[in-house]
Structure 1
Amino acid sequence: MSTDFQRAREALGARLRELRTEAGLTQRQLAQAVGWAHSKISKLETGRQTATATDLTVWCQAAGFPEAAVELKAGLRRLETQYRSWRRQLASGHKGIQEALLAQEQRTKSIRVYETSVVPGILQTPDYARHLFTHGARLHRSPRDVEDAVRARMRRQEVLYQRGRKYQVIVWEAVLHAGVGGAAVMRGQLDRLAGVVGLDTVSFGIVPFSAVLDLTPKHGFWIHDDRRVTVETVNAEMELKDPLDVDLYLRLWEHYEQLAVHGPAAHRIIARARAAVDA
């Protein structure tokens, strides 16, 4: 369990304890009032067990603060969003993260990816990945295990050729013009993307600059088997499992999928970006 997740659970437990003590109830008295084991009260208050939405409603009613349930349920939803800071994840470098992602992706049959500013890791060339890892380590002041991380990222790409898996990748056209690593790196990366178009296990689409956007590009996200979503920010990675959150991202995905071009049209956009690099 991540440290960030545990701290959030402990904070929720502390709020439950405040409500109980404000009501003048001991743990045993509250347990008797709601018909729970005393141990459950203790575990909830100390963050050793995660409350359900029903638990929160029952607790607040028994303590005489039914209106507090709304606040606590909002906190529970935040708790169910696992927040993992890069500072902690990168304490031992990038390689371990890549290996963990490989293990996750081997258990996943369908992945939908949307990116607005960077080529997804599963489609990166070694040089493109090397540039990102080098500067990511500098930004986060983490151990520089760049070459090990690059090799681990390339191993992740083996799943692209395994039957029974489906990757659906959409990028905003800006990704093709970001200039990561300079002209030579981008030439190789654009050639790699051109080769991806047509793979049986990969659907690669581009939202062109000319698309009429009802929803702005916002941030990138990954949807795994339509059950969980990962979102990366500068300082952390979030994992969303709440069905309402997953449904929101699925609807956002469908919006961009309708705007994206594939096949020959995607090839033409990549070719234009390649020509711009050569100019």
Structure 2
Amino acid sequence: MSTDFQTARVALGARLRELREEAGLNGKGVAEALGWQRSKVSRLETGKQTPTAKDLTEWAQAVGRPDAATELRGRLVGLESQYRSWRRQLAGGHRARQELALRETTATQLIRGMEVSRIPGLFQTADYARHAFEANAEFRRVPRDVEAAVRTRMRRQEALYEAGKLFRFVVWEAALYVLTCPREVMVAQLERLVGLIGLDTVELSVLPLGAQLRRAPSHGFWIYDRRRVIVETTNTEMWLDDEENILLYERAWDLMAEAAVHGPQARRLIARAQASLELG
């Protein structure tokens, strides 16, 4: 879990404890008033569990401070707006998250991205995307609205052909070999990448496995103009819009980009990966 997320959750828990103590109640008293297990009160106050908006409203009422409910819910919204659990985002399937990505792309002129283990969604073929959504639905045990998600992802790619937009992506060479789909699907996906290199709206670079690096690629991330960075982890998607984080990820992207190759060199690396898949 992100340290920033946990710090914010601990701070919210400390505020709950403060309100309880101001009311002269102990944990057992709050639990009885709310009909909760005592352990839930403890987990919330120590930042080991994320409360729901309903939890916070009920807490404020139980400690005699209904006026504090707005403040508490505001803290929760701030926490969840940056750190969005996949469990909640994908509760109804993948399509809703893809619609959100479509809106973000529409509102953005420059997208810079780094991917270390997969092909960027904006560059995926329908078959590659289909296998990605299928695998993710199985892993996360969420509804399988795969075809709707694929259609939305393909609609999002229309932005690649809009004048005035620019998509600058660095893909680690390893991602060209990661098989999350059948070999023939990956071969077609690599063909798609080669075709995109010639677009005036796309700058696709490949970071060679043997490149000399000043910083090793640790995870993928996308930068939307200079207003937001989106980072995916196993359980959470982080939406970071503060200046400090934006500058940090811009530096990380620049370091990857300076070591990457593009144009004919990138084509050769993609062709080498394609040839190895065809021979295999």
Same fold at TM > 0.5: yes
Runs of 4+ in 1 over 3 A off after TM superposition: 7-14, 16-24, 41-46, 48-51, 78-81
Question: Is the Cα–Cα contact under 8 Å of residues 10 and 46 in structure 1 kept in the other structure?
Answer: no
Task: Give, in angstroms, the shift of residue 15 of structure 1.
Answer: 2.5
Which of 8-17 and 109-118 deviates more?
A: 8-17
Which residue pairs with 1:72 in the alignment?
A: none
2:233 maps to amino acid: T
State TM-score, norm by structure 2: 0.76
Taking the TM superposition and a 5 Å limit, the aligned residue runs for 1:32-181 are 42-43=67-68, 46-50=71-75, 79=79, 82-181=82-181
SS at match of 1:178: coil
Distance 2:71 2:122 in 1: 40
Which residue pairs with 1:191 in the alignment?
A: 191
The runs of 5 or more residues in structure 1 that have no matched partner are 1-6, 25-40, 52-77
1:122-169 deviation digits (Å, cap 9, x = unpaired)? 000011001011111111111111111111110010000001111101
Question: Is the Cα–Cα contact under 8 Å of residues 80 and 241 in structure 1 kept in the other structure?
Answer: no
Question: Is the Cα–Cα contact under 8 Å of residues 12 and 72 in structure 2 kept in the other structure?
Answer: yes
Question: Is the Cα–Cα contact under 8 Å of residues 16 and 45 in structure 1 kept in the other structure?
Answer: no
1:55-110 deviation digits (Å, cap 9, x = unpaired)? xxxxxxxxxxxxxxxxxxxxxxx948711111111111111111111011101111
Task: Give, in angstroms, the shift of residue 50 of structure 1.
Answer: 4.9
Distance 2:233 2:12 in 1: 27
Question: Is the Cα–Cα contact under 8 Å of residues 112 and 167 in structure 1 kept in the other structure?
Answer: yes
Distance 1:92-1:17 versus aligned 2 partners, 3 A rule:
closer
Tell me whether 1:15 sits opposite 2:40 in the alignment. Answer: no
Taking the TM superposition and a 5 Å limit, the aligned residue runs for 1:190-229 are 190-229=190-229
Question: Is the Cα–Cα contact under 8 Å of residues 84 and 237 in structure 1 kept in the other structure?
Answer: yes
Which residue pairs with 1:73 in the alignment?
A: none
The runs of 5 or more residues in structure 2 that have no matched partner are 1-5, 24-65
Distance 1:128-1:165 versus aligned 2 partners, 3 A rule:
same
Distance 1:21 1:145 in 2: 44
Question: Is the Cα–Cα contact under 8 Å of residues 116 and 219 in structure 2 kept in the other structure?
Answer: yes
SS at match of 2:219: coil
Question: Is the Cα–Cα contact under 8 Å of residues 44 and 50 in structure 1 kept in the other structure?
Answer: no
Task: Give, in angstroms, the shift of residue 8 of structure 1.
Answer: 8.9
Which residue pairs with 2:235 in the alignment?
A: 235
1:251-275 deviation digits (Å, cap 9, x = unpaired)? 0000001001010110111111111
Distance 2:197 2:207 in 1: 14
Distance 1:23 1:88 in 2: 33
